[in-house]
Amino acid sequence: MTTNLLDFDAEGLTAWFAQQGEKPFRARQVLRWMHHFGESDFNAMTDIAKSLREKLLATATVSPPPTISDKLSDDGTRKFLFDVGNRNAVETVFIPEDDRGTLCISSQAGCALECAFCSTGRQGFNRNLSTAEIIGQLWQANRALGYAPTSGNCGERVISNVVLMGMGEPLANFDNLVPALRLMLGDNAYGLSRRRVTVSTSGIVPAMDRLAEACPVALAVSLHAPTDGLRDKLVPINRKYPLAELMAACRRYLIHAPRDFITFEYVMLDGVNDSDADARALLHLVRDVPCKFNLIPFNPFPASGFQRSPAERVRRFASILINGGIVTTTRKTRGDDIDAACGQLAGQVQDKSRRIQRTAGAVSGAAARSVGVELHL
């Protein structure tokens, strides 16, 4: 059985090479070939001894998840569907901007948090992705987008920002997430700044504390409600980690974070969480947490049971936050013609939770963590 080297960060790959009787610099060489140059053929790794290349051919592989489809939106957004086996697939979305290129990566096949207005949440949970499947999305997207550095020229970076805001709850897959993050940041891999890698969470407090110690990157929190009563309905994980605990965890995270603020994601649901009173309650909630808000227009999908807040209501809501001293942006809707917009990353996963049946006819208070892409990072 061969070993997929995409499963290792620098430390893990060094340990694996040591088990093969090889010196640490060999791990650095292979790491650079795999991630910096996007090479999967050991024979093409020309500065590695032939004997080692032959050993690698017999014992190892570089195997990202295969591409099922690659769709291009009218607005330039590009959605990749990757095969992760057993009839499961995950989606990765690239959003080009004038000054950046953001890749939205998935961390799980489906999602276990049962957030009702996210179409991914409606599909139920299948499994965590491996490190190779997480970092393999970036590996595949780099190649598809034409990033091809040479030894003398690193080339122009196409993907400048990575956000873990796709399918799944990243912090529920902590052990596989952190090695992938370290590869994104590593000088011999992708070399991204900690400020340009963002993990989004619905608020798993113990894992937020672990991330702060293990690999602090920019943090986005899917908030969606200003009170426990409403958030219990919108984001069920709140029943385990209520808002007081979540805000305390955000303050602790900022001690280690590469940025001096937390981004709060807030999906705008007509008549549910978008009133003036809700906005004022948010100002009170985050009064001790340096932050910015990203307001996300809800993207409808069949049988969601929710409507998008009118544009004027979103503007009014934002103005209250801004007048209260909070930097507030409204997410542009991108890629909705290819179902790549916020909340639409359903992919081809099996509904193992039977959530659709269980929540049929539920009141409009049942909602979800959005998988929105922050375009102002």
Q: Does the active-site annotation cover 91? A: yes
Short-list 239, 138, 228, 229, CA closest to 189: 138
Q: Is 154 a catalytic residue?
A: no
Closest listed residue to residue 334, CA positions, set 104, 160, 77: 77
Q: Nearest CA to 219 among 268, 168, 160, 261?
A: 261
Closest by Cα among 35, 92, 34, 94 to 68: 92
Q: Are 52 and 26 in contact (CB under 8 A)?
A: yes
E strands present in the chain: 3-4, 60-61, 67-72, 78-83, 89-96, 101-104, 108-110, 125-128, 161-164, 197-201, 218-222, 262-268, 291-297, 327-330
CB of 294 closer than 8 Å to CB of 266: yes
Of the residues 22, 91, 169, 265, only one is catalytic, namely: 91
Cα angle vertex 257, ends 369, 118, to 5°?
Answer: 10
317 vs 60, 270, 273, CA distance in Å? 54, 12, 10
Helices 205-214 and 174-185 cross at an angle (nearest 10°) of 30
CA angle, residues 253, 257, 262, in degrees to nearest 5: 70
Token pair belonging to 223:
């908030």
- The residues with which 92 forms a beta bridge, in sequence order, are 80
Token output for 174? 């902590």
Judge contact between 118 and 106, C-beta under 8 A.
no
Cα 362 to the chain's mean position, in Å? 28
**Residues 254 and 264 sit within 8 Å (Cβ to Cβ):** no
Catalytic residue among 111, 118, 291, 342: 342
User: Catalytic positions, please?
Assistant: 91, 342
